[in-house]
Amino acid sequence: MALYPQARRAIEAQAGVQPVHDPSYDIATARAQSRVVAASQPREDVDEVRDLDAGGVPCRYYRPAASTPGLVVHLHGGGFVFNDVDVHDAAVRRLANRSGLAVLSVDYRRPPEHRFPAAPDDVDTVLAWLERNFPLAGQSWLTGDDEERRDKIPVLVHGDSAGANLALVAALRHPGRFAGVALIYPFLDPTGGFESYGTAAEGFDRREAQWYWQQYAATEADYTDPDLAPLLAKNLNTLPPTLVVTAEHDPLRDEGEHLAHLLAEAGVKVVASRQLGMVHGFWRHPDAFDAAEPLTRQVAGFLRMLV
């Protein structure tokens, strides 16, 4: 199937951009440029936004007006290497407002400075901190009967791309901890072995994907560790209701859809959808892709349904 015009224009705009696997590629400069671009983007008001230290892991907390009791743990994408809570700020604001749920965006450590398992370990640290501190003091909706059921307030987990990998791993590491999981074009297979790497790769190819895995993995043994490659996990059946969204022209398409099939066979309540005409990364850019806002609302509706 053909790319939609918006996706085609996005790919054309990337023509000539230095690939990450170029030996002279400067990670620090690329990170800084991403923050500058993100800072220039419009962002919605959210009733409460504050930075937190969650057991030593920086996080940003968002609570929309008239929020429903519940919390979404958001794990940002970026090939494990790029992006942070600032780059994802606008997207998380939209998710909080659309879902009516508080969101905690996690600024996990990134490679190559901090290789696997630093990122999933940071998520573990945040979850342990939440056990002690959530609901957070001062949340206006934690009153009356809510105070008596504070331990039952649902926590959900969401991520895109590499963040979806971390979200899935968090749910597998902590069976029963989450009320739901939402994954947007998850980055799951370090072998790059699925057919879509050859048939659907637009603006993102196997060589780039392998570079990200090489930055993330600390040893060869890590490539077969289910905490890095969660398609190898033996406890997929322990997952709560899960949403998996893929993009038609994304090399990660087939691994995400394979995950959905595995979950269905394991008896997990799973909903999967493919965004036609779209490429990897579109979700964060409603200014460039008409599909981004409806997808945010789809994710928000799925999460809200589970609280």
Instruction: Give the catalytic positions in this structure.
Output: 161, 250, 280
Phi/psi-derived region of residue 157, left when phi > 0, alpha when psi is between -120 and 50, beta in every other case: beta
DSSP state string for 189-250: -TT--STHHHHS-SS--HHHHHHHHHHH-SSGGGGG-TTTSGGG-S-GGG--SEEEEEETT-
Residue carrying structure tokens 């993330």: 216
- CA 265 vs. chain centroid, Å, equals 24
Pick from 56, 76, 61, 66: nearest CA to 135: 61
Check: CB of residue 157 under 8 Å from CB of residue 182: yes
Residue carrying structure tokens 């794990």: 75
